Amino acid sequence: MLLDNKHVAIIGGGPGGLTLARLLQLKGINVKVYERDYNADVRVQGATLDLHYESGLKAIGTMGLTDVFKGTYRPGADKGRVVDKHAKIIYDEHNQTPNEAFNDDFSNEWSRPEIDRGPLRNMLLNSLLPGTVVWNSQFITMTQVDNVWKLEFKNGTTAIADIVIGTDGANSKIRHYVTPIKPSYSGVTIVQGNIPDSETAVPNIHQLLKGGKIYAHGDEKFLHISSKGDGSLDFYVSCKKDENWMQNGGIDFSDRKQVLAWFKQEFPGWHSLWLELPENAGLPLLIRPQYCMPFDQNWEAHSNITLLGDAAHIMPPSGEGVNLAMLDALELSECLAGNDFKTIQTAIAAYEKPMQGRAAKEAQISLEMTEWMHSEDALAKMTQMLNQTE
């Protein structure tokens, strides 16, 4: 096998990196995951996500975690309501007949079981051998000597690896070792927040949410809200802004008074119900400018380093991010741990070409989605999209 007696270093402990680690360990490969978080519990994970049968669910099955996943996912959490700015329900998936698509073999292409990011991460962490994840390891730099990488971390430690795989997300520190190509700003910035105990803190929105999702459109703005299994809710406001809006806007998103003033200015004429969000959100709110890879990006494969997930192909949210990362991990593991290639470089090349192709298609879809979700007819288009998934 190509990776016999090789040490693989995965930089980043998100779903993509942990999936890759699990798949490589199943093949008996020596792998470590270097994660900047101090431990598994130090940072609250983000909103819920749905896994797709041809990507995320496929990886779950290959990892042998189907039964664990079935005990972890949240039935019904994928149901959404499309509402206008006055909180009037335009389309309601809760009135639909339940889709029994989630089955033992994931053979239905419409399978979209929902799971919180925290439980998904914990499920993947628990599947790894003890000591696989090296916590408090924020990557700083690395150098290559005799085809071996020496990695240096902020805490002063170092590590040696034969192969480095960057799974460190949108702001990847590994990407520039692979390619000089940089993503560009999409024109949209997301303001994200979380509200614990939504039933008590925001009862009106909690009732409207009904344990699922809310998609609110109006005035070329988009507000998304999702329930979480811990009783909290996540929300994000998606707005067309200049790339440096956060730095130049003069708004302190850790100050409740300023946050409320900004929200009222951003959403004039919207129902007062929506004010429950900035009034009760934990502060500071997160400001996330959205970037996208060039559709035509490609690079020459290297012999001992590659990327997957957002590190390889960042794009605005489209519902595919984690699914693409897990599929990347699955296909990369098959190339590296199989017997089809004579060198690691050819194995990496065989992985990267289709990865780049499907990512380019999804990136274009994500930008098109970003555009119409901020358009005047977004309500109609969102309803049409949900109808097509029935």
Ordered per-residue pLDDT tens for the chain, 390 residues: 889 999 999 999 999 999 999 999 999 999 999 999 998 887 666 778 999 989 999 999 999 999 999 999 998 888 899 999 999 999 998 887 655 444 555 556 666 889 999 999 999 999 999 999 999 999 999 999 888 999 999 999 999 999 999 999 999 999 999 999 999 999 999 999 999 999 999 999 999 999 999 999 999 899 999 999 999 999 999 999 999 999 998 999 999 999 999 999 999 999 999 999 999 999 999 999 999 999 999 999 999 999 999 999 999 987 788 999 999 999 999 999 988 999 999 999 999 999 999 999 999 999 999 999 988 888 888 888 777 655
249 belongs to a structural domain? no
Q: What is the pLDDT, as a whole number, of residue 329?
A: 98
Instruction: Kindly report the backbone phi and psi dihedral angles of residue 289, in degrees, each rounded to the nearest multiple of 5, phi listed first.
Output: -60, 140
Q: What is the pLDDT, as a whole number, of residue 381?
A: 84
Of 249, 139, 232, 150, give the one whose Cα is nearest residue 191: 249
- Domain carrying residue 346: 7-76+115-182+294-372
258 belongs to a structural domain? no
266 belongs to a structural domain? no
CATH code of residue 155? 3.50.50.60
129 belongs to a structural domain? yes
117 marked as part of a ligand binding site: yes
288 belongs to a structural domain? no
- Tokens 């998936």 belong to 93
β-strand pairing of 80-83 with 213-218: parallel
106 belongs to a structural domain? no
Q: What is the pLDDT, as a whole number, of residue 78?
A: 86
330 belongs to a structural domain? yes
267 belongs to a structural domain? no
Q: Is 44 helix (H, G, I), strand (E, B) or coil?
A: coil
User: Which residues, other chains included, contact 267 with Cβ-Cβ below 8 Å and sequence gap of 6+?
Assistant: 85, 219, 221, 223, 274
Residue type for position 385: M
310 marked as part of a ligand binding site: yes
Q: Where are the beta strands (DSSP E) in 257-378?
A: 286-292, 305-307
Q: How many domains does the chain have?
A: 1
288 marked as part of a ligand binding site: no
Q: Which residues pair with 375 in a beta bridge?
A: none
Q: What is the pLDDT, as a whole number, of residue 44?
A: 65
Q: What is the pLDDT, as a whole number, of residue 101?
A: 47
> Can you give the pTM of this predicted structure?
0.93
Say if residues 331 and 309 touch (Cβ distance below 8 Å). Answer: no
Say if residues 238 and 188 touch (Cβ distance below 8 Å). Answer: yes
Where are the alpha helices (H) located in 12-116, listed in sequence order? 15-26, 56-62, 66-70
41 marked as part of a ligand binding site: no
